[in-house]
Structure 1
Amino acid sequence: MPMDLVKMRPSVFINEVVDRYRRHLAKYWSADLIDKAENKHRELLAVYAHEPNVKAAPDKHDKKTFFNEAWDCLKRRFMQLR
């Protein structure tokens, strides 16, 4: 969930998300695109810490919310990798 991503340190995100699925990601994304996703996660953490509007968006969702529904509040800003 986005609310979990904003609480995850970059090293944990890379280790538990990116590295775990790197072979699968590499089928569809270039190495550069994977690096950009890692950088976008770092950017998300910084923005979440300093911008109340961004902080409020994922915080309003809970475990019952579907991921895509919760991510819609952030995706325009953080998933434009290309």
Structure 2
Amino acid sequence: MYAIFKLLQMVFFGMAVVNDLQTGKNTAKGLNKWKDLIFSVLAFPVGMFVVLLFWVIFAYDRQLVYPESLDAFFPLWMNHA
């Protein structure tokens, strides 16, 4: 399941880069519509679900998603990044 989310993000950002490089061309209009559709229907909702789920589980029981032993490697402020 995690690989599907990563693939979705990779496809969306790849389309965004290609769309930005093709500004002013007719093909960019069609690609821009597809990029906007994927963002509004899949990429944003899935991204928000993952973030909200992480922070809800973190607030409930931190050890499930981010054990305190990781604080030695990654400070807590870096967890937000």
Q: TM-score, normalised by structure 2?
A: 0.34
TM-score under structure 1 length normalisation? 0.34
Report 1 or 2 for greater relative contact order, CA contacts < 8 Å, sequence distance ≥ 6: 1
